[in-house]
Amino acid sequence: MNSVIKGASYVLAHTPQMVVYNGTTQTTERVVNPESEYLKELESHLRSYEDCVNYWPNQVYIGNAHPDDLTQVEFPYFDKAKEGAERYGKYGEIMPEAEFLLLVQACDMFEVAKLEKGFVSTYKEAFAADPIITEDIVARVEEGIESAEIEALVNEEHAEGLYLDGKLVGCVKRAHDIDVNLSAHVMHENLMSKASSVLALLYAVRNAEIDKNDIEYVIDCAEEACGDMNQRGGGNFAKAAAEVAGLMNATGSDSRGFCAGPSHALIEAAALVKSGAYKCVAVTAGGCTAKLGMNGKDHVKKGLPILEDCLAGFCVIICENDGVNPEINLDILGRHTVGTGSAPQNVIGSLVADPLERAGMKITDIDKFSPEMQNPDITKPAGAGDVPLANYKMIAALAVKRGELEKKDLATFAEKHGLTGWAPTQGHIPSGVPYIGFAREDILAGKQKNAMIIGKGSLFLGRMTNLFDGVSFVIQANTGAEDNSGVSEEEVKGLIAKAMKDFAASLMAE
């Protein structure tokens, strides 16, 4: 039987200081144009924590509003606060930067993350008050060190500074003197990814209503790499995050595929569970510091706040079929192959039309498509357009070409089968997966019968191939109950009777 989606989590950590110090748009600008107007103006465009919480797309991401609600909000979103917005949502939370830094230090196993004494004492209580943060994790928070020591580490030992409201409050040290893979920069990036993944794992366990020990395997599908100079990218974020989250019965591994990583990982998880290898698998990913403020130059130029100010994480729990939760149907898998090519119609054909055709279905048989769910509030001012809408137009055009959709219905296809994007531009984070939590609930509620999740990845960024990539899968209402009722008592009686009859016939023949 197919595996099921038991639950999902979506978390954000508001990290405006990391926009300034760690986002590659900003770090690059500091190298090539240190006196630029952009760098001068940047800090005045950073949002407060309250503004970040009140932001409609963020509230959708953590589950306090449905994507359908966002459709009703007048565009753009950045100047409209959501009434009743909250830090905590049904899928996760928006963690403030100070508390996130404490989580980062708690996730550090090699004493490279150091925080200032006064900072720790000021924020530790608030950190401990977060209902998802366990006593074990709080106990890992160290007392802290003197600010002079932190300054010396940053100024003399190449440590990456950790800041709050422009003030140095800690640092991440290098983990090796000459190994660039263990440099302060890489350790910082990896610890941020790990900490946001831990937060996502904790919420996913809560949301799926399972015991931590139920999880047997964790797959991390973020876009960072950890290892030393002898095995760059050796891993293993999955097990490292599982350790902090307290998943004592789990092992795991990392799966990578650029933005398509989560979709690849979810198919792998569904296959592992369906095969019986593991009963319960968590697919998790933390956020990416490099992408913070990625489109910041355009946002500042147009007078907008820096909207890419959050690290994001997600986790999906895949378990054995319970006869209730929506299934991942492994019979309908789309894949962009080496031979597919890069033409947009070929890409969408391989990911959408081909797998459905193989299953005897039409494009219009899918109730909702979740391709790249980037928030258009971020991408449109930067000239990248409305990414989800562009995907829907392509899917609709293909449906018309295949005679599965009337040309007159082109314009309404996105409204009927699509969603308005709400996910932060954190690479793998918006790629198909932000909808899984809502899809599970909408299918359980009978609002729809299925959804297709599409992940696409830009492999050419690694300079190993010019190829594009992508995979897709379909989530559908549970059919386990039907499968279970397939063998009735009458049928069993009939099977025994037939076996006895065949046996008797064989005896008579002898």
Is residue 427 at the binding interface for another protein, with CB under 8 A as the rule? Answer: yes
- What phi, psi does 197 have (nearest 5°)? -70, -40
Applying CB under 8 A, which part among 1-9, 219-227, 276-284, 337-345 lies near another protein? 337-345
**Contact between 458 and another protein (CB under 8 A)?**
yes
Stated as kind and residue range, the H or E segment containing 301 is helix 296-301
Q: How far is the CB of 3 from another protein (least distance, A)?
A: 29
Q: Which is nearer to another protein, 105 or 289 (CB)?
A: 289
Question: Which tokens is 254 given?
Answer: 């990392």
In angstroms, the CA 105 to CA 115 distance is 8
Candidates 233, 385, 462, 494: give the one binding another protein (CB under 8 A).
385
Applying CB under 8 A, the span of 26-34, 83-91, 383-391, 474-482 interacting with another protein comes to 383-391
Distances (CA, A) of 212 to 197, 204, 208, 209: 15, 10, 10, 9
Which of the 8 DSSP states describes residue 352?
I
- Stated as kind and residue range, the H or E segment containing 310 is strand 310-319
* Binding segment (CB under 8 A) for another protein, from list 79-87, 187-195, 321-329, 386-394: 386-394
The contacts of residue 406 (CB under 8 Å, 6+ apart) are: 400
Closer to another protein by CB, 104 or 429: give it. 429
> Sign of torsion, CA 128 130 135 136?
negative
Looking at beta carbons only, is 124 or 291 nearer to another protein? 291
232, 344, 361, 449: which one contacts another protein (CB under 8 A)?
344
Our CB check for another protein shows the closer of 14 and 456 to be: 456
Distances (CA, A) of 167 to 26, 98, 112, 147, 195: 18, 11, 19, 10, 22
Q: How far, rounded to the nearest angstrom, does the alpha carbon of residue 399 sit from its chain's CA centroid? A: 28
Phi, psi of 276 (to 5 degrees): 95, 0
Among 2, 263, 295, 340, the residue binding another protein under the rule CB under 8 A is 295
CA distance 322 to 209: 13
242 near 250, Cβ under 8 Å?
Answer: yes
Query: Between 463 and 482, how does the x/- string for binding to another protein read (CB under 8 A)?
Result: ---x-x--------------
- Closest CB to another protein among residues 152, 461: 461
Q: Does 432 bind another protein (CB under 8 A)?
A: no
The answer for residues whose C-beta is within 8 angstroms of residue 451's C-beta and 6 or more apart is: 366, 367, 368, 369, 370, 435, 439, 442, 443, 474, 475
The backbone torsions φ and ψ at residue 143, rounded to the nearest 5 degrees and listed phi first, read -65, -30
CB 70, min distance to another protein, A: 18
The yes or no reply on residue 430 touching another protein (CB under 8 A) is yes
Stretch that binds another protein, among 35-43, 70-78, 276-284, 375-383 (CB under 8 A): 375-383
Residue 329 Cβ vs another protein, minimum distance, rounded to whole Å: 26
Helices 97-107 and 237-245 pack at an angle, to 10 degrees, of 110
Which of 129, 152, 324, 343 lies at the binding interface for another protein (CB under 8 A)? 343
Of 2, 3, 196, 374, which one interacts with another protein (CB under 8 A)?
A: 374
Asked if 500 and 493 touch (Cβ cutoff 8 Å), the reply is no
Tell whether residue 379 is a contact of another protein (CB under 8 A): yes
Question: Contacting another protein (CB under 8 A), which of 81, 210, 330, 384?
Answer: 384
Kindly state whether residue 324 participates in binding another protein, applying the rule CB under 8 A. no
Instruction: Count residues near another protein (CB under 8 A).
Output: 26
Q: How far apart are CA 270 and CA 264, in angstroms?
A: 10
The pattern of x and - marking residues 89 through 128 that bind another protein according to CB under 8 A reads ----------------------------------------
**Does 425 contact another protein by CB under 8 A?**
yes
- 49/460 with CB nearer another protein: 460
Q: Does 12 bind another protein (CB under 8 A)?
A: no
Taking the complex as a whole, how short is the minimal distance between the CB of residue 460 and another protein, in angstroms? Answer: 6
Q: Does 391 bind another protein (CB under 8 A)?
A: yes
Contact 315, 284 (CB under 8 A): yes
Q: Is 342 in the site for another protein (CB under 8 A)?
A: yes
Which is closer to another protein, CB of 145 or CB of 390? 390
Q: Which is nearer to another protein, 203 or 258 (CB)?
A: 258
Place of tokens 């599965």: 404
Coil, strand or helix: which one is 180?
Answer: helix
CA distance 20 to 44: 11
Distance CA 240, CA 218 (A): 10
**Segment contacting another protein by CB under 8 A, of 60-68, 228-236, 461-469, 495-503:** 461-469
CB atoms within 10 A of CB 408: 8
Comparing CB distances to another protein, the nearer of 245 and 459 is 459
Query: Can you point out the beta strands (E) in 411-486?
Result: 450-457, 469-476
Please provide the size of the chain in residues: 510
User: Of 27 and 458, which has the nearer Cβ to another protein?
Assistant: 458
259 lies in the binding site for another protein (CB under 8 A): yes
Q: Where are the alpha helices (DSSP H) in 315-472?
A: 344-348, 354-358, 376-379, 387-401, 410-417, 436-444
Considering only the stretches 115-123, 169-177, 275-283, 452-460, report the one whose residues sit in contact with another protein under the rule CB under 8 A. 452-460
Helix/strand/coil for 423: strand
Q: Any contact of residue 460 with another protein (CB under 8 A)?
A: yes
- Interacting residues with another protein (CB under 8 A): 259, 294-295, 341-344, 372, 374, 379, 382-385, 387, 390-391, 425, 427, 430, 456, 458, 460-461, 466, 468
